[in-house]
Structure 1
Amino acid sequence: MNWKDALADRSSIPIIAGPTASGKTELGIKLAERLDGEIISADSRQIYRGMTIGTSTPVNPPVPYHMTGFLDPNERFSAMKFARIARNLIEDILARGKLPIIVGGTGLYIKALTEGFFEGPAEFPQIREELEKRRNKGEKLYKLLEKLDPETAERVHPNDLIRIQRALEVSIATGKPISAWQKEGNYQKLEYPTKLFGMSIPRKKLYERINSRVITMINSGWIEETRRLLNNGYSRDDPGICSLGYPQIIDYIEGKEELDSIISAIQKKTRNYAKRQITWFRKASRIIWVEPADAIENIIRECRLAV
């Protein structure tokens, strides 16, 4: 099928979202296999190389899986950059007669892709440097963000220091929160129609899956993966490594915490992260919640993808 013509006529690009450990990846792969599609990952953690275990990045997936493992852990990335790359990938995938399928749990990435992105005011190096100093002293930048820009704080993870610092930088330098700048910006929407689907899974079952997956990840070599990153010169302050789980494992490697203690901490932090993801997507307009058992058929029907 010529998917580009189909999108112009009646079909929509499917976006599979939802909390971590909800089965998004598995569903996306099955859908891509059925419809001759290719996946674009919308996950702000899977973009980093050398972090396959800790970010649950698919290894040797049976379908093309884009935007994973292409950045070093000390490199910065943004929703704006994601949207630009993803839009180019969509064009490339369609040009090859394939169906692009977006899969991921990073709401900001999905929003930037579908609704357009905000470039914002220029960077302010002096303020950024001062924020870096405060961060290195252990000051709670997230608490400051909650005070200066509660709207942004609500949708940014407390561990996402890159976005926290950028939001604070803009608020301090301009006297106006970045959330206000974003509302005033000019956005260019994706030219192709999309439909957003959320993985619906009972909270108790989701938390059980999270707890089990953390243990599986530890047993699969997450500690060794983290040790390799440290041996390669990366640190807990790098954009990739300061994310979920790695700081706790570094505490264990450095002898600051026991293994059982960090496992419990990672499980709790991951559950809290999933809760925030659920809150984000529940606020998304026009999201369609699907049960895993009949998700593929529902997505095909809603997006009018029947071959």
Structure 2
Amino acid sequence: MHILITGGTGFIGQALVPQLLGSGHRITILSRGRHRDSEQCNFVRSLNELPADNGPDAVINLAGASLAGKRWTPAYKEEIVASRVDGTRELVEFLASRAQPPRALLSASAIGYYGPRGDQPLTETAPPGLGFSSELCQAWEAEALKAEGLGVRTCLLRLGVVLDREGGALREMAMPFRFGIATWPGTGHQYLSWVHRVDVVAAMTMLLEQDDLAGAFNVTAPTPVTQREFCAAMQKQFRTLPAIPAPGPVMRLMLGEMAGELLLSGQRVEPAALEAADFTFAYPGIDRALAAVFDPQAGDRLP
């Protein structure tokens, strides 16, 4: 299968691309940077570089500026919207211009779709919430779903906080623990819906291959944890002082609106659609997932 991936050089793409290449697929990656082609993987800097007579069989849309990349200034919000909403619109318009659209589109979204919801369990049938991240995800998904009008099977990937050793959110989250400081944001009772990157790649591979699967999928582990529970799990990996909270007012002062939506509130998300499709998580629990990140041999021994 010929697969076009936008954002294929990012944190998820770095694990996904080798997996797909190992399965014999041919990959084209849309990236603004300059990269060296290989026999089965080539790079383009514009969709217009793709030959008109050799379109992709499937598309995986991972591109977008990080929600947690920096403070949400008006300018950075515009950058986020442009990279995610406008970028997805341009991608679907490109697919519409092809004589033969792809069979499938897997388009990233985020659990921010649900907005701050306390401890309410949230499956894919839950309505959207309020706030910038929810409005962003709703607009982002709406653009992706336009591909259905082209006859393209479309899957929306509502990603939780993706954990692994090479980067992503865990790099920042682990920093105080590495210096012996155990902490959680605000009250610590807000939920963190997380997922190991191995399971993200496995879920994407399954959704790519199963033609009967479409719609929204929460790509999160089946056991979300509170921030306090996450802190306790991290303390099993690092030697730290007794845990202390990071005060909410201080975080709001330092990080603004982003702190309120992403750190001081949360969502208790459940992967109902993946479980209904008989997906098996390699890392369903936070202890084994973190052990696999920080001590792979120990992680393999945990149940």
TM-score calculated relative to the size of structure 1: 0.30
Higher strand content, 1 or 2: 2
Higher helix content, 1 or 2: 1
